Structure 1
Amino acid sequence: MSTPLTREAAAPAPVRPAELDADSWASVLTPRLAQFAAVARHEHVTRAAGELAVPQSTLSRAMVRLEADLGVELFARRGRTVSLTPAGRRFLGSVERALTSVEEAAESLRSDADPATGKVAFGFLHTLGSETVPALIRAFRADHPGVRFALVQNYGEAMLERLRAGDLDLCLTSPIPDAPDLVTRALDEQRLRLVVPEDHRLAGRRRVRLEEAAEEPFVTLEPGYGMRRIFETLCARAGFTPRIAFEGEEAETLRGLVAAGLGVSLLPPPTVLRPGVRELEVSSPRAVREIGVAWLDGHRDTPPVAAFKEFLLRRRGHLLA
């Protein structure tokens, strides 16, 4: 009678991959990667099980199942002692890189949430970037010197999209959006100016009614900018539809076009007065833009984000530099 072969003496049986969806590889394999790396490092199932604080039998079954799922033998076994096959060594390199990447991502998230040294992703309008936002951050960092900022300048709609995508924690925007998925708070308002060339017929005036510029060509921001919507609303209140001569993406560029005599514009006040133009107060209609802060409803703040949000809310009424 022939004697059955032991596992050590027998030729290894071919391992057939289990039926798996391609989309499920990550979800199936991920829980076993750290177990595989531990067994590979110790070359001993019992010692690896002790490190992982799991039963040895559980770990053995997990490695057998991993090989079955992959359809590849990863280990050459001699009792509880194991060594990697060539396929196992190749797989180990990828597993170690994946585990290192997860570890680094987790450490980065923990670092960003640290109350003392964490990070705030903060968006704001271009017109607030030269003076208002630097002053805000300087004042906040007086009490939170280690907090880092990722700053994003953009127009309102683009910032709200990034807020919804999770790229931003908070943003300063205008007009203040009314959306069910966002929480907003009004912080301040900014008076707008009618900007005219220095040789314009209205340049000698200090204050004007917006309707007095009804026949003028306007240079203004492109559609999609919050300031463009405010401008069109104010013109409608003044009783006219503006004639648009030029559209741009940045307020100081528009001032340059005004200085060149190419039209007039309705803009927030500049940080530094520009030669070649006059900035006139608008007496009617009341020409202001409201600045507010927005964040995603239901989003849990990290400690540094919560601290900066509270700081902004305390600045209500005196946000603008």
Structure 2
Amino acid sequence: MRHHRSLEPTSLPTEPAELSPRSPAALLSPLLAQFAAVARQEHVTRAAAELAMPQPTLSRAVARLESELGVALLSREGRAVRLTRAGRVFLASVERSLAELERGVDAARAEADPMGGRVAFGFLHTMGTEAVPMLLRGFRAEFPRVRFQLVQDYGEAMLDRLREGELDLCLLSPRPELPDLTSRRMGEQRLRLVVPAEHRLAGRRRVRLEEFAEDTFVTLVPGYGMRRITDSLWAEAGFTPRISFEGEEAETLRGLVAAGLGVAVLPPASVPRSDVVELALTSAAARRELALAWSSVRPLPPPAEAFRDYVLSEKDHLPLHS
């Protein structure tokens, strides 16, 4: 089973209640703030002035609310009004509901604040060592109040999450060419054949993959973009490899190569290791294109739009080319 890693813990939302057009909550919602104003002022005329609406209209609204509930909420004492016992009970729930609605409005506005909202950003595991920290550091220098929800996952899973609206942007490979997604090329990396330092061909600079047909391989699990490239390279070289391990992270595979469990086709390491050697492959297909992707059918929130523009402006300065 594959697991993504989210670098900002989030709680699962509870299942929302479904409101039919004739449900009590749907029918009463427009009247609640008006009732609360009358209850607070204990006077219909003053409440109407506060709400900037005609006093007869407000009186009819409160009467309609009482009719819908089938309960008297107010007792009239001349021009003044008093809450009935049922009115006090109902007002407590109304005030909690209105306060929660205010918090929701504030949260929605904060999400859309280009200077202080939230960006949900996904990226490949291999991007987390150097490229993503560089991007976050540079962007936060300009937008220090923007918050990030960071998710590490493989490409197909991130594309699904883009479609569902769980992610705003993702940095992945290969570049998707789908009608509901927009993508921009960020760079291209030549893939390497990673071998133990003591391997018989470790002294070479360039090798043909078919020279390793008798070796054991460690590789990424099926479904990853890199695995699809590796599968096509094996097919091009004309052999079916012996695989000793399928994993989810390139650095784990490098460690297994160093331990002698096999060789691996991987992107270049951001930090060189002394216990493995990375050899250039002669095949022109031994490369991967990196891209930034986002939804074509859903507009980006302002903070995500600002981050997208920043990432694209920095693409030539990132370690995404080899």
* Cα offsets for 1:16-71 (capped at 9, x unmatched): xxxx9597343222222222221221122222121111222222222222233333
CA distance in 2, matches of 1:79, 1:229: 80
The within-5 A match list for 1:106-145 is 106-145=105-144
> How big is each residue's C-alpha offset from its partner over 1:264-283, in whole Å with a ceiling of 9 and x where there is no partner?
21111222223432221112
**Structure 2 match to 1:268:** 267
- Contact 2:21–2:27 (CA under 8 A) maintained in structure 1: no
- Consecutive unaligned residues of structure 1, counting only runs of 5 or more, are 1-19
Report the CA distance between 1:287 and its aligned residue: 1.2
Q: Which moved more, 1:71-80 or 1:20-29?
A: 20-29
What's the TM-score once normalised by structure 1's chain length? 0.84
> By how many angstroms is 1:293 displaced?
0.7
TM superposition score normalised by structure 2: 0.84
1:13 corresponds in structure 2 to: none
User: Match for residue 233 of structure 2?
Assistant: 234
TM-aligned CA deviation for residue 138 of structure 1: 2.1
1:78-136 Cα distance to aligned partner (Å, 9 max, x none): 34432223333232222222222222222223223333333322221111112111112
The 1:287/1:67 distance shift into structure 2, 3 A limit, reads: same
Task: State how far apart, in whole Å, the 1-side matches of 2:236 and 2:88 are.
Answer: 73
Separation (CA, whole Å) in 2 of partners of 1:71 and 1:265: 74
Residue 86 of structure 2 corresponds to residue 83 of structure 1 = no
* C-alpha contact 1:44 1:80 (8 A) present in aligned 2: yes
In structure 2, what is the equivalent of residue 14 of structure 1? none
Kept in 2: contact 1:187–1:291 (CA 8 A): yes
Partner of 2:178: 179
Unaligned runs of 5+ in 2: 1-18
In the alignment, is the contact (CA less than 8 A) between 2:20 and 2:26 conserved in 1?
A: no
Q: Secondary structure at the match of 2:53?
A: coil
Q: Which residue of 1 aligns with 2:66?
A: 67
| CA-based RMSD | 2.4
Rounded to whole Å, the distance in 2 between the matches of 1:82 and 1:230 is: 75
Partner of 1:157: 156
Contact between 1:210 and 1:285, CA under 8 Å: does it hold in 2? no
Name the CA distance, whole Å, in 2 between partners of 1:66 and 1:282.
76
TM-aligned CA distance change 1:21 to 1:305, over 3 Å: closer
Q: What are the residue-to-residue correspondences of 1:210-289 with 2, within 5 Å?
A: 210-289=209-288
Paired residue type of 2:75: A
Over the matched positions of the two proteins, sequence identity in percent amounts to 63
Q: Matched residues in 2 for 1:166 and 1:247: separation?
A: 30
- The residue aligned with 1:312 is 311
Check if 1:58 corresponds to 2:93.
Answer: no
Alpha-carbon distance in structure 2 between the residues aligned to 1:133 and 1:278: 25
Question: 1:307 deviation in Å?
Answer: 2.4
Aligned with 1:236: secondary structure?
helix
Q: Return 243-252 or 67-76, whichever deviates more.
A: 67-76
What is the SS of the residue equivalent to 1:178?
coil
For 2:162 and 2:115, how far apart are their aligned partners in 1? 23
For these two proteins, the number of residue pairs brought into alignment is 302
Residue 294 of structure 2 aligns with an amino acid whose one-letter code is: W
Larger Rg: 1
What whole-Å deviation, never above 9, does each CA across 1:220-260 have from its counterpart, x for those lacking one?
Answer: 22222222222222222333333332111211111222222
1:85 and 1:236 map into 2 onto residues whose CA distance is 81
